[in-house]
Amino acid sequence: MPLDGMAVRCLANELNQLCRYSKIQNIFMPRNNEVVLSIYGDKKSHYLTISMEPSSPGIYLRYDKMDNPKTPFSFCMFLRKHIGGGWIERVYTKDYERVILFDINHTDELEETSKKTMIVELTGRNCNLIVVNSHNKILDALRHVDEFMSSVRRIMPASEYAVPPLQNKKLINNVTIEDLDIYSEFSVSDAIFKTVMGTAPIFGKEVCYRAGVDDMKPVKHLTDKEKEDLSAALSRIADISERYSYEPVAIYHDNKKNMKDFYCLNLLMYENIQSIKVKRLDSFLDVFTQYIGEKARVYELSQKSDTIKKVLSTHLGKVEKKLNIYQNSLSDADKVKQYKLYGEFIMANLPMLKKRVENVQLLDYYTNEMIDIPMDPSKDALKNAQAYYKKYKKGMAAYDYSIKAIKEMKKEKDYLQSVMHALLSCEKKQDIEDIRKEMIQQGYMKEKQLRKKSNKKIETETALFRPIEYISSEGYEIYAGRNNTDNDRLTFGFSESYDIWLHVKNMHGSHVIVKNKEQTEQFVPDKTLTEAAMVAAFHSEGKDSGQVAVDYTFAKNVKKPKGSKPGYVNYFNYYSAYVKADKEAVEKLRKS
């Protein structure tokens, strides 16, 4: 749900409580559409993140580490100069517009103090971040808009700032039930949305639910009782907004952990729907931080992994093309073998073939049938036979090469697909960075290096060893590799001979190790083995496939062929367990 005016009003109120009298210690721009203010106040530090992503603009708190560009964006340098080191006097919004204003007292290098306002417009695709001086003149903006881009509003340095165009709607405090009559042909929920300023479509549905009125009912068919109930419901919500006594909620679908939606009011309309869980929270800023923070994390991971995905897709395409070529050459094997027979039949009938002709008919003594053999009239029979033997040898050499090449191509395809699976399973930026290092080491990507005076070759960094850790319900340590390099280190460096090694059968997935406390030829208890198999199934391509087979054996029975790609192993003396990748059960086992 996008931020509507009511949610922005709630957010601005909480930001004012958090940021008022706080100092802006530093300013960062990790991306060209994201500004992070490092603020300090009330003996606490916060990273206030302003996202100007058109699909999901907003202001939230950031807790994870940022990757800042080596050269700051010019707008970042502008902000550092004009508001860096300043004190936030107040944070507020006007009426129910999706605009949040930060009044900042700033002292420049000449010790002169001035008042500036940072204006955050959370208006969807037209969102913007603008700084104005005390005379309402624009100092600069994240996105410039000139008269050629918009005839409505100009956003350029030295121009006077004008608020976004107002909609023809009324403040909730001033709305009367008669105002809905303009939209008499519309449904009640649509009419409320079109009448009340700063509301999303879901607001109209919630008002109808609280009033006990069918939200799809046309306005012209409302009874007097229904109008009274709607008016009372609107008045109660207006009172909540006026007193800032909001009831922030997070909305989850199908008992999943990731939040699907949010709002600043308690959405009573969902309370009897089993597939939807509504969770009340004390702070709307916390709700929005969870929602937009997760969305930003997923977006950032997607951005970082896109380059590797393109490289993998390119190499997979090349491998597929080569496989098709080699497999087509295998289809010519019968034709190649026929050349040998032609040579053999010509040699068997050599005394009879005195004339130079374009075609001869000879007996195939393997089938007792006559066959036609094409001949080169410029050569005698012996040279024709020799030519056919030469074609046969050349064809068989190509056939043998194709067999070997197909085997190697399939291994490479399997490896690239395993990297793609690991990439799609990444949870953190470091996971993607580790895969990038692996790709560089395997020669699929080139590392960008700064030129130095010395021509010494800089060694590629190796990926960090950071297996995912679990604890079985019986206290056994379980480890799962995050990528192919992790898998190799986990299996051949970290594990001991009698630790239990697990891997999903005939699919890509993580190597899983269960630390065997006894270090004897005795498997861990069945319950722990089942839980470890579930972990292996969860970290594999088969996690959404229902029941899958997971092979397990002692680590000493796992061998790595010489020269093979990371993650590739052979194993023997193994058993198989059939389990389902139960996400909730696996998450409970994971170390926090």
Q: In the predicted model, what is the mean pLDDT of residues 221-239?
A: 94
Q: Are the beta carbons of 278 and 267 closer than 8 angstroms? A: yes
The first and second tokens of residue 515, run together, are 């630390």
What is the per-residue pLDDT for 257?
Answer: 66
How sure is the predictor about 191, in pLDDT bands with cuts at 50, 70 and 90?
very high
Phi/psi region, residue 85 (left: phi>0; alpha: psi -120 to 50; beta: rest), is left
Residue 289 DSSP SS3: helix
| Least confident residue range of 59-73, 149-163, 252-266, 563-577 | 252-266
Supply the pLDDT for residue 471: 95
- Tokens 């059960």 sit at which residue? 585
Judged by phi (left if over 0) then psi (alpha if -120 to 50, else beta), residue 87 lies in beta
Per-residue pLDDT at 452: 46
> Which DSSP string do the residues of 72-128 spell out, in sequence order?
--HHHHHHHHHTTT-EEEEEE--TT-SEEEEEEEEE-TTS-EEEEEEEEE--GGG-E
- Residue linked to tokens 């198989």: 576
Rounded Cα–Cα distance for residues 333 and 96 (Å) = 76
Q: Are the C-beta atoms of residues 388 and 342 closer than 8 Å to each other?
A: yes
pLDDT tier at 453, thresholds 50, 70, 90? very low
Measured CA to CA, the distance from residue 353 to residue 376 in angstroms comes to 13
- pLDDT the model gives residue 46: 95
For the residues 338-356, what does the mean pLDDT come to? 90
Whole-number pLDDT of residue 545: 84
Look at residue 167 in the predicted model and tell me its pLDDT. Answer: 79
pLDDT for 449: 46
Residue 27 in this model has a pLDDT that exceeds 90: yes
**98, 1 in Cβ contact below 8 A?**
no
The confidence score (pLDDT) of residue 462 equals 67
Q: Is the pLDDT of residue 318 over 90?
A: yes
Q: Is residue 185 within 8 Å of 151, Cβ to Cβ?
A: no
What angle is formed at CA 28 by the lines to CA 22 and CA 32, rounded to 5 degrees? 130
d(CA 314, CA 146): 41
pLDDT of residue 2: 66
Distances 574 to 513, 528, 571 between C-alpha atoms, Å: 14, 17, 7
Report the interhelical angle of 188-195 vs 224-242 (nearest 10°). Answer: 40
pLDDT of 525 reads: 92
How would residue 140 be classed by pLDDT, with cut points 50, 70 and 90? very high
Residue 451 predicted with pLDDT over 50: no
Question: How many residues does the structure list for the chain?
Answer: 592
Class of domain 5-141: mainly beta
Which of 287-301, 339-353, 433-447, 567-581 shows the lowest mean pLDDT across its residues?
A: 287-301
pLDDT at 344: 92
| pLDDT, mean of residues 298-327 | 89
- DSSP reduced 3-state for 293: helix
Q: Is the pLDDT assigned to residue 25 strictly greater than 90?
A: yes
Question: In terms of DSSP bridges, do strands 34-41 and 44-51 run parallel, antiparallel, or are they unpaired?
Answer: antiparallel
Residues 454-467, mean pLDDT to the nearest whole number: 64
Taking residues 128-134, report their average pLDDT: 96
Reported as a pLDDT band with limits 50, 70 and 90, residue 192 is very high
- pLDDT value for 12: 95
Other CB atoms closer than 10 Å to residue 214's CB: what's the count? 15
Q: What does the mean pLDDT of the chain come to? A: 90
Q: What was the pLDDT predicted at 488?
A: 94
Burial group, residue 342, by CB count within 10 angstroms (0-12, 13-18, 19+)? buried
* pLDDT attached to residue 491: 95
Instruction: State the Cα–Cα distance between residues 380 and 373, nearest whole angstrom.
Output: 14
Summarised one tens digit per residue, pLDDT across range 386-414 is 999 999 999 899 889 999 999 999 999 99
- Mean pLDDT, to the nearest integer, of 350-354? 87
Q: Where are the domains of the chain?
A: 5-141, 172-286, 307-464, 468-589
Q: Is 256's pLDDT higher than 70?
A: no
Q: What is the pTM of this model?
A: 0.71
The CATH classification number of 172-286 equals 1.10.8.50
Residue with tokens 């895969």: 435
